[in-house]
Amino acid sequence: MLETAWKDYRGWAAAARALQGSARNQTLWALALACAAALLGSLAAALGPPAGPLRTGASLLAALCAGLAPVLGRHILDADAQGRWIQARATAEAIQSECHRYAGRSGDYAGEGAARRFDARVSALAKAAQDKGVVADAQAREKQDKPPPPAGMAAAWYRENRLAAQRGWYGSRSAEHRAAAQRARLWSLGLALAAAALGVLSASELVSWIAPFVAAATTIAASVAAFGMVERHQFLAASYAGMAQQLDRLEALHREGALPDAELVAAGEDLLSSEHRAWADRTAQLRVAIPTPTPTPARGTAAAPGPVPPPPAAAGGPRPAPGG
Confidence of residue 310 (pLDDT cuts 50, 70, 90): very low
Residue percentage of the chain with pLDDT more than 70: 77
**pLDDT (0 to 100) of residue 95:** 92
In a domain, 59, yes or no: yes
Looking at per-residue confidence, does 205 or 275 come out higher? 275
In a domain, 302, yes or no: no
> Helix, strand or coil for residue 7?
helix
Rounded to 5°, angle at Cα 244 from 118 and 14: 50
In a domain, 152, yes or no: no
In a domain, 176, yes or no: yes
User: Which residues, at least 6 apart from 284, have a Cβ–Cβ distance to it below 8 Å?
Assistant: 82, 83, 86, 319
Residue percentage of the chain with pLDDT more than 90: 22
Confidence of residue 295 (pLDDT cuts 50, 70, 90): very low
In a domain, 308, yes or no: no
Calpha distance 285→280 (Å, rounded): 9
Calpha distance 150→275 (Å, rounded): 24
Average pLDDT score over the chain: 77
Confidence of residue 78 (pLDDT cuts 50, 70, 90): low
In a domain, 243, yes or no: yes
CA distances to 74, 180, 295 from 225, rounded to whole Å, are 19, 12, 19
**Parent domain of 280:** 2-134+159-285
Count up the domains in the chain and report the number: 1
In a domain, 108, yes or no: yes
Of 108-117, 149-158, 255-264, 274-283, give the lowest mean pLDDT range.
274-283
Residue 319 has pLDDT above 70, yes or no: no
Calpha distance 223→37 (Å, rounded): 12
Looking at per-residue confidence, does 180 or 42 come out higher? 180
In a domain, 149, yes or no: no
Of 30-44, 74-88, 269-283, give the lowest mean pLDDT range.
74-88
